[in-house]
Amino acid sequence: MRARFTPEEPEDASHLAGWMYADLLLALMVIFLATISFVPNFANSSSSVTTQIKQISSGYNYNRGLSLVYNGFDSKLIMSDIANFKVKEGLPEDAEIIYAQILGGFDVKKESADKGKLRALEFSLKLSRENPELFSTAATNLGSNLLLKENEIALRLTFVAKIK
């Protein structure tokens, strides 16, 4: 009679690892849920924990942003346009810009959209150099728009009041 062949290498159980991991997580979840006690608080006792949550007034949110188109870079004109917008819309003086979109124009017949983005980038660099504190908290998005002429830059700004 011939001897039975037994393999020398150990069995490979790696195909069961995923199931063992899932069973382990299920067991931990059952233990966690079993230890939670759902006890209602029927009385407002002085020993109950209270938290203070600062409610944000709806006056901090503004529905309209500022959209302007410029033919060139003029820092003083941009600052006066922003100041006039704040006064016209009744925004507080300390309202800050949280979002700025700068779109550069380009000539569709001669240039690609990348040229408009490059113009927007140049405009944003000049803007941040001239007024670094104005756009310090703003998220900036650069792009191009084929509706703008090649010498035009569109500036869209969103404001929010500082939380005190």
Q: To the nearest whole percent, how much of the chain has pLDDT over 70?
A: 81
pLDDT at 34: 77
* Pair 120, 73: CB distance under 8 Å: no
Nearest Cα to 154, choosing from 109, 128, 114, 117? 117
Q: What is the pLDDT of residues 138-160, one digit of tens each?
A: 888 999 998 998 889 999 998 88
The rounded distance, in Å, linking the Cα atoms of 145 and 104 is: 6
Q: pLDDT tens for residues 88-107?
A: 988 888 888 888 999 999 99
Sketch out the chain's domains with CATH numbers.
63-160 (3.30.1330)
Mean confidence (pLDDT) of the chain? 81
pLDDT digits (tens, 9 = 90+) for 46-96: 555 555 545 455 555 566 788 999 998 998 999 999 999 989 988 888 888
pTM, rounded to two decimals: 0.61
